[in-house]
Amino acid sequence: MTTSDQPMDHAPPGADVGGKSEKSELEKNVTARSTWIRLFFMIIFALLYGLSRLVTAAVVAVQFFHVLFAGSINDQLKTFGHSLAIYSYEVVNYLTFNSETKPFPLDAEWPHSLATDEKVAAEEEL
């Protein structure tokens, strides 16, 4: 039996026998503008994530040498490093589709370090 001899019940699901068919789910997904816009932003944030890893490495090195030579932790670097870690988390969350909120600099502000939030809360209590 050839394919032309097969009964009509073997037609692919969603296929219209008359020659016209609605867009398949795949076609809808591939042609959706929002999917391609998301890809564009994902590429941008993947590049920013790579840059943030370089900045993190620099913060680690500077903090290490500060501790080595000064004997104490630089609080400003510590706070910046923590907010950079939060930013990296937000970027990865967006890239893995766990969030629809675009990280800084688009939809969200630069994340505040928890240490900064604790200091502000302590100052407000006084």
Average pLDDT per block of 10 residues along the chain, 126 residues long = 54 53 80 89 96 96 96 94 95 94 89 68 61
**Tell me, what's the pLDDT at 25?**
86
Q: How far apart are CA 48 and CA 54, in angstroms?
A: 10
Among 114, 48, 47, which residue's Cα sits nearest to residue 80?
114
Residue extents of the structural domains in the chain: 31-125
Largest CA distance in the chain: 88
| Tokens at 76, concatenated | 């400003």
| Tokens at 15, concatenated | 């296929």
**Tell me, what's the pLDDT at 122?**
58
**Tell me, what's the pLDDT at 78?**
95
Residue 44 host element (H or E): helix 33-70
**Tell me, what's the pLDDT at 67?**
95
Question: Are 85 and 56 spatial neighbours (Cβ–Cβ below 8 Å)?
Answer: yes
**Tell me, what's the pLDDT at 33?**
86
